[in-house]
């Protein structure tokens, strides 16, 4: 059987912790040889801080489209294949068999619904794990913001000082930023006119900056230039040097208020934006008749359409049927829970290995710091070298501690999450019937990505992993009808 191999690493830490491309390739080639698979092509993605992207992944998809006889992908484990949920959705459209070698798991179109559901939970929880790690990084940035220091890349007009880890005015741009504020505060320029003025001024050409209407708007709205900054929805008083006065900033905001007029927004109705026309793909838009009856009809944006309209009450009934399809039987639910317990054990093992690796790195850096301190006391190294290296190692220890905290926070539980999804699926129909229209919309946003309506028939597209549950219910219903039809009369 023909197959392709896919391997990926996303950081230097993963290289050090045994996820290197050579180790993945060795495992997958051995698996292919033992299984009698013919490797047609190998695809690799190496992501770094300077270069991210899925070149190898996209090349693999293109290869599979052109070589339809190749129906098998070998990969080390789930989080090596998918970087996000979009990758999962994309690959799910291909009729291929996936072998996750380290997890001893095979997924195909013929797999049981419980196996597909478990795989979906793994993908979702891997994404959740990454999100939690990112959250810990954001916590460190928030701590820095609370101390009055801008925690990210310097905005236009400032530059990052690598030694102090603070921002400072950019000598080549500070005068230009001040002029932008002064010009707009005068009320003589629109944003478009200000962009033209900036290009015509000598200041702009010397700064080699790409300044357009949107870029100028961001600069003029940023309070960091007078000494404050916003981070994660909260305002902080910065300790950096301001480029303009608070008075000038306020004058610019007043100029914006004079130039912009608020626009009236349309009333948002319950199912607006949830349904498209099944005939032409245009939106189904709500319209109120006689002040109280709500009808949904095709916008006919692409031309005349023969689709019928539908009353909101009837649409709500059709949606109720869509919600009822995600229910699963007790036996299937128990099978999924047992599979989740097995997956949870694998996750705990990965968590323990990652934490152990970080602890070893932490001990190593501490030993380096202690040894260097002794060398400083015995005058084997200079004071300047000690300050430079100790600062570097202290930063490394802080980074490791953040990662350890992140792993503790990201100790996700497959079993609890999967059980919660099963519980929601089985209670969704009753919840839908109990809620008002806005509550129903909220529930539908959780279960569905979109729906199409054509002449009385509603066709849903479910979010993952609810699509797996809906397909499983549909299959069981069809099988039940076939069994009933084939049963001999009593």
CA distances from 37 to 27, 31, 60, 72 (A): 14, 8, 17, 9
* Residue 376, domain member (yes or no): no
Residues 82 and 7 both lie in one domain? yes
- CA 255, 261, 267, 270 dihedral sign is negative
In a domain, 106, yes or no: yes
Q: Which range of residues forms the domain containing residue 162?
A: 155-259
Q: Which pLDDT value is given to residue 75?
A: 95
Same domain assignment for residues 102 and 13:
yes
Identify whether 83 is part of a domain.
yes
How many distinct structural domains can be found in the chain?
2
| Among candidate residues 53, 78, 110, the one where a domain is terminated | 110
Which pLDDT does position 255 carry in this prediction? 86
Q: Is residue 232 part of a domain?
A: yes
Residue that the structure tokens 């539980």 belong to? 413
- Burial of 229 from C-beta contacts in 10 A (0-12 / 13-18 / 19+): buried
Q: Which of 110, 128, 143 is the last residue of a domain?
A: 110
Query: pLDDT by residue (tens digit) across 464-473?
Result: 888 888 876 5
- Phi-psi domain of 267 (left: phi exceeds 0; alpha: psi -120 through 50; beta: other): beta
**pLDDT 10s digit of each residue in the chain, 490 long?**
899 999 988 655 444 444 578 889 999 999 999 999 999 999 998 865 444 457 899 999 999 999 999 999 999 988 888 877 788 888 888 889 999 999 889 999 888 888 888 888 878 776 666 666 556 556 667 888 888 889 888 888 899 988 888 999 998 888 889 999 999 988 778 888 888 888 887 665 444 556 788 888 989 999 999 999 988 878 888 999 999 999 999 999 988 887 764 443 344 577 888 899 999 999 999 998 887 889 999 999 889 999 999 999 999 999 999 999 988 777 777 777 777 776 666 666 677 778 888 889 999 999 998 898 888 888 888 988 988 888 888 888 888 887 777 666 554 556 677 777 888 888 889 889 988 888 888 899 889 988 999 999 999 999 888 888 887 655 444 444 444 444 444 3
CATH number of 214's domain: 3.90.1750.20
165 and 255 together in one domain: yes
Residue 234 within a domain: yes
Q: Is residue 16 part of a domain?
A: yes
C-beta of residue 243 within 8 angstroms of C-beta of residue 172:
no
**Domain ends where: 238, 259, 280?**
259
Question: Do 161 and 255 sit in the same domain of this protein?
Answer: yes
The CA angle 206-208-214, to the nearest 5 degrees, is: 120
Q: Are 44 and 21 in contact (CB under 8 A)?
A: yes
Residue 409 included in any domain: no
Flag whether 27 is in a domain: yes
Together in a domain, 95 and 190: no
For the chain, report the end-to-end CA distance as a whole number of angstroms: 48
Nearest to 99 by CA among 26, 8, 5: 5
pTM for the complete prediction? 0.44
Residue 87 belongs to a domain with what CATH number?
3.40.50.1390
> CA 295 from chain center: how many Å?
35
Residues 163 and 73 in one domain: no
């Amino acid at each position: 059987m023909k197959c392709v191999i896919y391997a990926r690493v996303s950081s230097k830490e993963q290289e050090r912790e045994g996820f290197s491309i050579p180790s993945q390739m060795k495992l997958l080639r051995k698996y292919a040889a033992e299984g009698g698979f013919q490797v047609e092509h190998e695809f690799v993605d190496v992501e770094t801080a300077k270069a991210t992207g899925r070149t190898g992944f996209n090349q693999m998809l293109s290869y599979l489209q052109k070589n339809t006889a190749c129906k098998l992908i070998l990969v080390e484990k789930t989080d090596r294949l998918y970087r996000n949920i979009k990758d999962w959705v994309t690959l799910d459209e291909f009729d291929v068999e996936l072998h996750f070698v380290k997890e001893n798991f095979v997924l195909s179109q013929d797999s049981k619904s419980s196996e597909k559901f478990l795989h979906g939970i793994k993908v979702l929880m891997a994404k959740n794990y990454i999100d939690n790690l990112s959250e810990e990084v954001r916590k460190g940035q928030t701590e820095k913001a609370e101390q009055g220091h801008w925690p990210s890349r310097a905005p236009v007009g400032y530059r990052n000082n690598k030694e102090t880890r603070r921002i400072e005015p950019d000598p080549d741009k500070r005068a230009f930023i001040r002029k932008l504020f002064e010009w707009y505060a005068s009320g003589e320029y629109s944003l478009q006119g200000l962009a033209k003025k900036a290009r015509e001024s000598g200041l702009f050409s010397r700064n080699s900056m790409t300044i357009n209407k949107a870029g100028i708007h961001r600069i003029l709205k940023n309070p960091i230039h007078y000494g404050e900054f916003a981070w994660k929805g909260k305002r902080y008083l910065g300790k950096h040097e301001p480029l303009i006065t608070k008075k000038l900033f306020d004058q610019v905001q007043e100029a914006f208020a004079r130039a912009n007029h608020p626009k009236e927004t349309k009333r948002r109705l319950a199912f607006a934006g949830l349904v498209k026309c099944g005939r032409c793909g245009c939106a189904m838009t709500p319209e109120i008749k006689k002040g109280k009856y709500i009808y949904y009809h095709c916008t006919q944006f692409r031309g005349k359409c023969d689709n019928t309209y539908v009353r909101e009450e009837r649409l709500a009934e059709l949606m109720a049927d869509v919600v009822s399809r995600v229910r699963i039987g007790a036996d299937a639910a128990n099978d999924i829970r047992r599979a989740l317990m097995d997956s949870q054990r694998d996750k705990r093992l990965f968590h323990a290995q990652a934490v152990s690796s970080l602890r070893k790195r932490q001990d190593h850096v501490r030993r380096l710091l202690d040894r260097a301190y002794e060398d400083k006391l015995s005058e084997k190294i200079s004071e300047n070298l000690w300050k430079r290296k100790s600062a570097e190692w202290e930063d490394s220890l802080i980074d490791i501690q953040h990662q350890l905290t992140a792993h503790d926070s990201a100790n996700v539980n497959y079993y609890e999450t999967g059980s919660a999804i099963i519980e929601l699926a089985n209670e969704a129909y009753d919840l839908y019937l109990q809620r008002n229209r806005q509550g129903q919309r909220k529930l539908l946003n959780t279960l569905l990505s979109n729906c199409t309506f054509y002449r009385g028939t509603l066709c849903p597209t479910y979010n993952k992993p609810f699509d797996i549950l809906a397909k499983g219910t549909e299959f069981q219903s069809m099988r039940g009808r076939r069994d009933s039809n084939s049963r001999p009369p009593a």
